[in-house]
Structure 1
Amino acid sequence: MSEKNKPMNFNDLEQWLNERHVTEVECLVPDLTGVARGKILPRAKFTEDRGMRLPQAIVAMGVTGEFPQSGPYYDVIDPTDKDMQLRPDPSSVRIVPWATDPTAQVIHDCFDNEGNMVPFAPRSVLRRVLGLFAAQGLQPIVAPELEFYLTARNTDPNMLPRPPIGRSGRAETSRQAYSIDAVNEFDPLFEEIYDFSDKMELNVDTLIHEVGAGQMEINFFHNVPLGLADEVFFFKRTVRESALRHDMYATFMAKPISGEPGSAMHVHQSLLDVASGKNVFSNEDGTPSAMFMHYIGGLQRYIPAAMVLVAPYVNSYRRLSRNTAAPINIEWGYDNRTVGIRSPISTPAARRVENRVIGADANPYVAMAMTLACGYLGIMNKIEPKAEMKGDAYLCAYALPRSLAEALDWLRKETDLHEVLGKEFVTVYSEIKELEFDEFMKVISPWEREHLLLHV
């Protein structure tokens, strides 16, 4: 949404709703998994209340909808199930283009009864990290690249996903990286996605066919992190809705199909000096600045311990394995797609860092907060990076956790990240992921039945 069209206060928001004859408002709050929670209100009720109440735990549940039964989770979240106040962010309002009646969707921020921002809500965590940069006179700028798969509609979770049927009447059976014709197979779907994105004023840029069969990627124009996290949140919802309307599914699972590459959310990031508007990653003579190197150093130092924030599920670690076109370490290099931290070819004014370890399954608010927090710690602690990797980083040793359980352990031990992200957030997030891991361990996989049932 362009700045000139953004409602900045409640009066602007009311005018925006009036101009579009909105009769209903979807009041949304992203939970830890990135799911849209909230209520649908008649326009008059929304205008009257200017917010709503929901239980605190609604933004802090597992992907299965479960909550911990006991433990440190309830040292943060009141066990009496208290309400939180949700206040609409006027700048986040978008039309719901697929709704029958004129309907708007507005993202809300979460506050407690004393007016303090709820520290474990995803949007709150990103706001906290951005506040640390603002205190240093810095404005982060980001640009996400989001990969996803289209699959045939399938209501049985025991059946393997497969590519959908395109206009030709055939499904993809081979990899079609950057193929225009392969994208054109789904022209009706993508025309609708672009139409919906335009009506929602999402700043989507390039669409490409990625490596996997039925795998696509959409790029976003660079902008401020909170606004772009909102756009990724809205875009995921839009793609899923559009796919259903065309009798297929869209999935942002990190590794939905065996033998095919996983899906990532690469995030390009740079820092502007607020006073001058200049990119602080470059010196006046165009060379890389010390802050650029320290930012990379921070990513290298802290990403391994922060991985559970951007590889949030058991499935996420299937993507982060050798020979899957995904990084397995945090080497860095210029124009090197095998590393976890890449600096693309650019002008000095556009010098940036690309974090390539983030999965498409990550909550966009948490993902932005994670990568910026790591870079922030690098700057504040003046951490020097390792030497640039000029070869194939896929051949190097693993430097990232190999499982959800291991990643959780690494995060719990890295107290520097607790200070930047907030101890309450780390506690709630860790407890939720522990719960999800315990639930997963109750399920016996086909691999176990095939290889262990009669052989051990």
Structure 2
Amino acid sequence: MSSRVHVSREDLEDQIRRGEIDTVLMVFPDLQGRLVGKRTTGRFFLEQVADSGTENCDYLIACDMDNNPVPGYRFTSYEQGYGDMLARADWDTVRITPWVDRTAMIMCDLHDVDTGELVEVAPRSILRRQVDKAAAKGYLPMVASEIEFYLFKDTYDEAHDKGYRDLRPHSPWLEDYHVLQTTKDEYILGQIRRGLEAAGVPVEFSKGEAGKGQHEINLDYTTAVEMADRNSVYKNAAKEIAHLSGRSVSFMAKYDFNDTGSSCHIHSSLWSLDGETALFQGDHHDAHHMSPLFQHYLAGLIATSREFSLLWAPTINSYKRFQ
């Protein structure tokens, strides 16, 4: 596990005072994994936001893919009146985003505006509770990801204007591991890799994938909440960088039924709480070198796969990937 570029609160405040940063994104993931939140000016951030946080409407964690509030939630609804949540900075997540001029990003935890308690149904809160439960049993979950996407010649506006049909992949060729073909896309992919590294999202590598204009970027493994944050930052960065270059990307599971689907491969393991010992390695007496913990872990994944498909395949489009 590599250490990421760390920006402390003091570092950020100094950069704001020097005029190097004039915009701070206070963000959190919605139910689709997208980053939502507010841009604050550097001055206002120092004066009001750094200690107190920002208020955001609570319907933001009850929206569908089109950002429409979905009825029927106990947490928030039109009937009970949409309220606010308080987004407070997680100071371990400060990032400078070099692809957007003079801008920093901070992941936030969501709190009840009246009680100050964490919003239990917020995605980061849910994941952190699971990590805490694992820690109580002596385990540290570690995670890595491989997330695939398509790069298109169309801009986002052009794709919208033609109903997201007949999109033009950036390459007419299958690119799986192909160096020459991916070099043609490197003016985008290189920006994404370098931007992520500078923003504290360590990248192992990128490669062409089996579809036309399809790519994969692998992120270095880390703790569960940090990896979830990195995935959201990665997808947001890829879309913004593509947009700034007059291109677009899609992480849809199956953007075209006749083309290769895009996957999100998740590698997970359990370690000792100090992060020094991997707990899945068995001894030489086991034919597959699997520890009993690993065997039970894998069995649990298999036994609960039907229920967890609600999270692994959350949209109609997800099931097209299962063809």
TM-score where L is the length of structure 1: 0.64
The one-letter code of the counterpart of 2:107 is I
Deviations, residues 351-389 of structure 1 (Å, cap 9, x unaligned): xxxxxxxxxxxxxxxxxxxxxxxxxxxxxxxxxxxxxxx
What corresponds to 1:318 in structure 2?
320
Q: Any stretches of 5+ residues in structure 2 without a counterpart?
A: none
- Please point out which of 64, 67, 74 is paired with 1:65: 67
Tell me the number of residue pairs that the alignment of Structure 1 and Structure 2 aligns. Answer: 309
What corresponds to 1:138 in structure 2?
139
Matched-pair contact (CA < 8 Å) for 1:56–1:82: yes
Matched-pair contact (CA < 8 Å) for 1:150–1:250: yes
Q: Offset at 1:56?
A: 1.4
Matched-pair contact (CA < 8 Å) for 2:239–2:249: yes
Matched-pair contact (CA < 8 Å) for 1:54–1:84: yes
- Please point out which of 305, 308, 318 is paired with 1:306: 308
What corresponds to 1:228 in structure 2?
227
What corresponds to 2:163 in structure 1?
157
Q: Offset at 1:61?
A: 1.0
Query: How far apart, in 1, do the equivalents of 2:234 and 2:225 lie?
Result: 14
Matched-pair contact (CA < 8 Å) for 1:271–1:279: yes
Q: Offset at 1:39?
A: 1.1
- Give the 3 Å change call, closer, same or farther, for CA 276–224 of structure 1 in structure 2: closer
Matched-pair contact (CA < 8 Å) for 1:31–1:122: yes
Matches within 5 A, 1:12-161: 13-15=12-14, 21-47=20-46, 48-50=48-50, 51-69=53-71, 71=72, 73=73, 75-77=74-76, 79-100=80-101, 102-112=102-112, 113-153=114-154, 154-155=158-159, 156-161=162-167
Matches within 5 A, 1:26-425: 26-47=25-46, 48-50=48-50, 51-69=53-71, 71=72, 73=73, 75-77=74-76, 79-100=80-101, 102-112=102-112, 113-153=114-154, 154-155=158-159, 156-164=162-170, 171-172=171-172, 174-274=173-273, 277-283=276-282, 285=284, 287-321=289-323
Secondary structure of 1:221's aligned partner: strand
Matched-pair contact (CA < 8 Å) for 2:175–2:210: yes
What corresponds to 1:363 in structure 2?
none
What corresponds to 1:396 in structure 2?
none
- Give the 3 Å change call, closer, same or farther, for CA 11–52 of structure 1 in structure 2: same
Query: How far apart, in 2, do the equivalents of 1:198 and 1:236 lie?
Result: 14
The one-letter code of the counterpart of 1:62 is D
Matched-pair contact (CA < 8 Å) for 2:7–2:95: no
- Give the 3 Å change call, closer, same or farther, for CA 91–276 of structure 1 in structure 2: closer
Q: Offset at 1:201?
A: 2.4
- Give the 3 Å change call, closer, same or farther, for CA 310–180 of structure 1 in structure 2: same
The one-letter code of the counterpart of 1:80 is G
- Give the 3 Å change call, closer, same or farther, for CA 52–158 of structure 1 in structure 2: closer
- Give the 3 Å change call, closer, same or farther, for CA 279–18 of structure 1 in structure 2: farther
Q: Offset at 1:46?
A: 1.5
State which drifts further: 192-201 or 263-272: 192-201
The one-letter code of the counterpart of 1:88 is A
Matched-pair contact (CA < 8 Å) for 2:272–2:279: yes
- Give the 3 Å change call, closer, same or farther, for CA 18–297 of structure 1 in structure 2: farther
Q: Offset at 1:122?
A: 1.2
Query: How far apart, in 2, do the equivalents of 1:58 and 1:11 lie?
Result: 30
The one-letter code of the counterpart of 1:106 is I
Matched-pair contact (CA < 8 Å) for 1:23–1:103: yes
Secondary structure of 1:304's aligned partner: helix
Query: How far apart, in 2, do the equivalents of 1:63 and 1:300 lie?
Result: 28
- Give the 3 Å change call, closer, same or farther, for CA 7–239 of structure 1 in structure 2: closer
Q: Offset at 1:2?
A: 6.4
Deviations, residues 222-279 of structure 1 (Å, cap 9, x unaligned): 1111111111111111111222233221100100122111101101111111157311
Q: Offset at 1:301?
A: 0.8
- Give the 3 Å change call, closer, same or farther, for CA 83–195 of structure 1 in structure 2: same
Query: How far apart, in 1, do the equivalents of 2:41 and 2:15 lie?
Result: 16
Q: Offset at 1:7?
A: 4.6
Q: What root-mean-square deviation, in Å, do the aligned CA atoms of Structure 1 and Structure 2 show?
A: 2.2
Q: Offset at 1:62?
A: 1.0
Matched-pair contact (CA < 8 Å) for 1:6–1:90: no
TM-score where L is the length of structure 2: 0.88
Matched-pair contact (CA < 8 Å) for 2:4–2:201: no
Q: Any stretches of 5+ residues in structure 1 without a counterpart?
A: 165-170, 322-456
Matched-pair contact (CA < 8 Å) for 2:206–2:215: yes
